[in-house]
Amino acid sequence: MKIGIPQKIAIVISLLVIIAGFYYISLISKNTFPYLKSKKEVLESTETTIEDLPKAFCPLCGVQVNENQVFKPIAVMIDNHNAALPHRGVNSACMIIETLAEGGITRLEAFYAHNHPKVVGPVRSARIYFVDFALSYKALLSHCGGSPEALSALFRLPIDLDQIRYSYPYFRDRSRRAPHNLYAQFDRFFTQAKNLGYDLTPVKEPFFMFGEETPISTTTVSKISVPFSSAAYTVSWIYDAQSDTFIRYTKKGKYVDELTNESPKVKNIVIVETKMGVKDNKGRLDIKISGKGKAWFIVGQYLAKGYWQKEIGKPFKFHRESGDEVVFKPGMIWIEILPEFSYPKFSN
């Protein structure tokens, strides 16, 4: 086939447009992303160490880690009956949400996105509000059964790691009394999820704002009391200046992770107040987890009042009274969701 002059001109123009396009993209990326190095530059660099690995921030707790350390968030329902203490694997969590289940007993939902323990538990059952939190933070949910409402939601969701349906990650520790003796081997969650075809893409965008610079207020606090129900489930937090963290105490004394015998390093505590009411004859609770309500924030040693906002399936937004979003310190966030009029106490 013979190509005429007009076609030749068209081909030349097209090639010129493509070359100009590549040149423009390279200029843009150099200007906009000056930190981008070419593959050649990286290979020729003699200073490359492990420190030069691409950095990322954990979306849940804001700590800086190597990019390949961030994984798909996993949430685990942890039995918080006093007989279930000490817990295993809580110290590696990025964020923990604690609220009531039935009978005045609290339960924890521990979230992991950049660091995980070998073993976690004891694992207990889910409630619908814990399912919403898992969805809100794009997490897979490890649990053992649940309320009918929670199970019917989870049955249709590609996040379910129910021990009853998928036993592979779980084991019973016969040295502890049932039902407080179900644990999971954390790395098996990923194998199980992969086999089920779940999306394991890590989250890149942070769920909260993080920074080290300005204290949240000028009010310091050294002791916090969080009365969930009876004295048996009142939590106390005491400030430890050396680690700039709050140490948790329960009815059983100082709260430690059985794996390390150390307390979790809690940098941020949020106390959320919301409406709760018993909704069925099993004592299950209806907890209002959307809308807006009162909240307290303890960041480092400083206390500020403010409010929470949330939509179903979306993460919490935390604001100071001024309306500014709360800036947390990079590190563990512990969220206490209390019934209205429970009155947390703060002292120095």
Which residues bind to Zn ion, rule: CB under 5 A? 58, 60-61, 94, 113-114
As measured in angstroms, the least distance from the Cβ of 94 to Zn ion is: 3
Secondary element (H or E) of residue 134? helix 128-136
Q: Would you say 114 or 310 has its CB closer to Zn ion?
A: 114
Give the span between the Cα atoms of 197 and 190, in whole angstroms: 10
Query: Based on CB atoms, which residue is closest to Zn ion, 100 or 139?
Result: 139
CB closer to Zn ion out of 114 and 124:
114
Nearer to Zn ion, 42 or 53 (CB): 53
Please count the other Cβ atoms lying within 10 Å of the Cβ belonging to residue 33.
9
> Which residues pair with residue 339 across a beta bridge?
274
Q: To the nearest whole angstrom, how small is the minimum distance from the Cβ of residue 147 to Zn ion?
A: 28
The residue (of 75 and 128) whose beta carbon lies closer to Zn ion is: 75
Q: What are phi and psi of 329, to 5 degrees?
A: -80, 140
CB of 63 to Zn ion, least distance (A): 6
**3 CB neighbour count, 10 Å cutoff:** 9
Read off the amino acid at residue 175.
S
Shortest distance in whole angstroms from residue 208 CB to Zn ion? 11
For the chain, how many residues are written?
348
Minimum CB distance to Zn ion, residue 73 (Å): 9
Which H helix or E strand runs over 31? helix 5-32
CB 73 within 8 A of CB 140: yes
